Amino acid sequence: MNKNLYPIFLIIFTAIFTVPAKAQQHDFVITNNGDTVQCKLKFAFFGGAPSYQTDTLGEFIKIKSDKIRYFRSFKDGKTRRAAKAVYINGSKKRRFIDIVQEGEIMMYKMVQTGYNYVQTTTWYAAKGTDTLTELKTSAILATTSRKSRKEFLKDILKDKPEIYDKYVADDSFSFAAIGDLIYLYNTTPPIKRSAWKLEY
């Protein structure tokens, strides 16, 4: 090797092999006892709760809400899917609902396919409880009135006046506006509009 090129080669070699490796994210579940367990998650083709496998389990076991309360999977270092077992639509049994945003205000979504394969998306929110309240839906009919859902959003935002005032001033109840408000509530401003969508 040309002696004049050796220092340059050494610098490049050092730079390549001394860059800190990005920490690998592992799928995990949280049990109803509060234990966090690293695992491998496998999802069914038609959706629903996945199955999980640990180093000590020889087979995949279906995730059920009587034993597991939360799961999160990763792909390429980013969250692929996260869900929590919650109460919804007056049910006395918990079911897994996908999480849109996590924080003091939790936001969830349910996507359903109806007649002629038309999909509807419904967002739910909860603050300090595992019982969800419908917040926004693309369906023609909602389970509660628009007025009551707007009042619910006011109620969960009101302890942060700057966010509450923005909601009142903007007077928008779109999916994007709701997502921005809850992101602002759960994080420290300022942010770019709809920046929360990059989280998942």
Region 96-105: mean pLDDT is 94
Using pLDDT thresholds of 50, 70 and 90, give the confidence band for residue 10. Answer: very low
**8 has pLDDT over 70:** no
Lowest-confidence segment of 4-13, 148-157, 162-171 by average pLDDT: 4-13
Going across the sheet that includes 105-113, the strands are 36-38, 28-31, 68-75, 78-86, 95-101, 105-113, 119-127, 133-137
Mean pLDDT of the residues in the chain: 84
Proportion of the chain above pLDDT 70, given as a percent: 80
The kind and range of the H/E element at 72 are strand 68-75
Q: What tokens does 115 get?
A: 């007649």
Using pLDDT thresholds of 50, 70 and 90, give the confidence band for residue 58. Answer: confident
pTM: 0.79
Where exactly are the structural domains of the chain? Answer: 21-86, 103-200
pLDDT digits (tens, 9 = 90+) for 59-93: 999 999 999 999 999 988 888 899 999 999 888 99
pLDDT digits (tens, 9 = 90+) for 15-51: 334 444 445 688 999 999 999 999 999 998 776 779 9
- With beta carbons less than 8 A apart as the criterion, state whether 194 and 177 touch: no
pLDDT digits (tens, 9 = 90+) for 140-160: 888 889 999 999 999 999 999
**132 has pLDDT over 90:** yes
